[in-house]
Structure 1
Amino acid sequence: MQRLPQIERTDWRQKMASLGFGFHSIDGVYWKEHVAYRFSASQIDTFDDAVTELHAMCLDFVDDFIKAGDWSHLPLPDTAITTIERSWRRREPGLLGRFDFSWDGVSPPKMLEYNADTPTSLMESSLAQWTWKVDVQPQADQFNSLHEKLVARWRTLRAQGHSDVLHFAGQYEQEEDAVHLDYLLDTALQAGWRTQWLAMKDVGWDGAYFVDHEGAPIRQLFKLYPWEWIWRDSFAEHAATDAVRWIEPPWKLLLSSKSLAVHLWQRHPGHPLLLPAAFARGSLPTNRAYARKPMFSREGGGCSLHQPDGTLIDVERVFEETGDWVYQVLAPLPRYDDYWSVVGGWVVGDDAAGLCIREDASAITKNSSHFVPHYFD
Structure 2
Amino acid sequence: MRDGWRLTNYSLGLTYNDDVLPDGTTYSYWQEGPYYDFTAAEIEELETASSTLYAMCLEAGDWMAGQCPRRTVEGRRQGYFTSICTAESCFLTRIGIPEYTHEQILRTWFDGDAETWTHQDKDPDGRLPMQTPDYSPTVYGRFDLWYNGAGTVPRLLEFNAQTPTSLIEAAVIQWHWMDQTGVARHEWRQWNSIHERLVGWEATPGEPGDPGAWRRNIGKLREARPWLPEKPKIFFAYETSETSGEDRMNVAYLMATAEEAGFPVELIAMSQIGWDVAGDRVLFVPAPGQEHRAEPIDVIFMLYPWEWFWHEEGGKAFFRNMADPQKRGTVWMEPPYKAALLGNKALLPVLWKLFGDDPERGKYLLPAYFAESSGAAKLTSYAKKPVWGREGGSVTLVRDGVPVTDVPSEYGSDGRYVVQELCELPTFDGLEGPVHPVIGAWLIDGEPAGMGIREGLGTAGLVTTNTCNFLPHVIS
TM-score, normalised relative to structure 2: 0.75
Q: Which amino acid aligns with 2:5?
A: W
CA drift of 1:167 comes to 0.5
Mean Cα displacement is larger for which, 251-260 or 283-292? 283-292
Q: For the Cα contact (< 8 Å) 1:158–1:193, is it kept in 2?
A: no
State the alpha-carbon separation in 2 of the partners of residues 94 and 82 from structure 1.
Answer: 18
Counterpart among 184, 196, 208 of residue 148 in structure 1: 196
Q: Which amino acid aligns with 1:78?
A: E
State the alpha-carbon separation in 1 of the partners of residues 393 and 379 from structure 2.
Answer: 25
Give the equivalent residue in structure 1 for 2:79. Answer: none
State the alpha-carbon separation in 2 of the partners of residues 259 and 29 from structure 1.
Answer: 33
Mean Cα displacement is larger for which, 275-284 or 346-355? 275-284
Tell me whether 1:213 sits opposite 2:285 in the alignment.
yes
Taking structure 1 as reference, are residues 285 and 308 closer, same or farther at Cα in structure 2, changes over 3 Å only?
farther
Give the equivalent residue in structure 2 for 1:23. Answer: 16
Counterpart among 332, 351, 362 of residue 424 in structure 2: 332
Q: Which amino acid aligns with 1:250?
A: P
Taking structure 1 as reference, are residues 181 and 59 closer, same or farther at Cα in structure 2, changes over 3 Å only?
same
Counterpart among 252, 260, 282 of residue 182 in structure 1: 252
Counterpart among 11, 23, 26 of residue 4 in structure 2: 11
State the alpha-carbon separation in 2 of the partners of residues 321 and 205 from structure 1.
Answer: 30
Q: Which amino acid aligns with 1:148?
A: E
- How many pairs were matched up? 369
Tell me whether 1:166 sits opposite 2:227 in the alignment.
no
CA drift of 1:285 comes to 6.9
Give the equivalent residue in structure 2 for 1:139. Answer: 185
Q: Which amino acid aligns with 1:187?
A: T
State the alpha-carbon separation in 2 of the partners of residues 316 and 68 from structure 1.
Answer: 32
State the alpha-carbon separation in 1 of the partners of residues 385 and 137 from structure 2.
Answer: 28
State the alpha-carbon separation in 1 of the partners of residues 184 and 463 from structure 2.
Answer: 33
Correspondence 1:191-202 to 2 at 5 A:
191-202=261-272
CA drift of 1:14 comes to 1.8
Work out which structure has the larger RCO, using CA pairs closer than 8 Å and 6 or more positions apart in sequence.
1
String of CA shifts for 1:114-164, please: whole Å, max 9, x gaps.
000000000000000001111222414100000011111011122233341
String of CA shifts for 1:303-340, please: whole Å, max 9, x gaps.
1111232x221111244543200111011000111011
> Aligned Cα RMSD in Å?
1.5
Counterpart among 344, 349, 353 of residue 257 in structure 1: 344
Counterpart among 174, 177, 193 of residue 129 in structure 1: 174
State the alpha-carbon separation in 2 of the partners of residues 288 and 189 from structure 1.
Answer: 50
Q: For the Cα contact (< 8 Å) 1:96–1:349, is it kept in 2?
A: yes
State the alpha-carbon separation in 1 of the partners of residues 376 and 148 from structure 2.
Answer: 24
State the alpha-carbon separation in 2 of the partners of residues 277 and 138 from structure 1.
Answer: 38
Tell me whether 1:353 sits opposite 2:397 in the alignment.
no
Give the equivalent residue in structure 2 for 1:234. Answer: 313
CA drift of 1:252 comes to 0.5
Segments ≥4 residues shifted beyond 4 Å: none
TM-score, normalised relative to structure 1: 0.94
State the alpha-carbon separation in 2 of the partners of residues 93 and 14 from structure 1.
Answer: 35
Give the equivalent residue in structure 2 for 1:57. Answer: 56
State the alpha-carbon separation in 2 of the partners of residues 266 and 60 from structure 1.
Answer: 12
String of CA shifts for 1:243-280, please: whole Å, max 9, x gaps.
10010011111111101111000001141100000002
State the alpha-carbon separation in 1 of the partners of residues 65 and 416 from structure 2.
Answer: 20
State the alpha-carbon separation in 2 of the partners of residues 16 and 73 from structure 1.
Answer: 44
CA drift of 1:287 comes to 5.5
Structure 2: runs of 5 or more not aligned:
21-26, 69-89, 112-134, 200-211, 222-227, 287-293, 323-328
Secondary structure of 1:258's aligned partner: coil
What percent of counterpart residues are identical?
34
Taking structure 1 as reference, are residues 172 and 293 closer, same or farther at Cα in structure 2, changes over 3 Å only?
same
Mean Cα displacement is larger for which, 45-54 or 57-66? 57-66
Q: For the Cα contact (< 8 Å) 1:143–1:355, is it kept in 2?
A: yes
Q: For the Cα contact (< 8 Å) 2:399–2:422, is it kept in 1?
A: no
Correspondence 1:75-94 to 2 at 5 A:
75-90=96-111, 92-94=136-138
Q: Which amino acid aligns with 1:344?
A: G
Give the equivalent residue in structure 2 for 1:3. Answer: none
Secondary structure of 1:26's aligned partner: strand
Mean Cα displacement is larger for which, 161-170 or 94-103? 161-170
Q: For the Cα contact (< 8 Å) 2:302–2:333, is it kept in 1?
A: yes
Mean Cα displacement is larger for which, 42-51 or 53-62? 53-62
State the alpha-carbon separation in 1 of the partners of residues 413 and 15 from structure 2.
Answer: 36
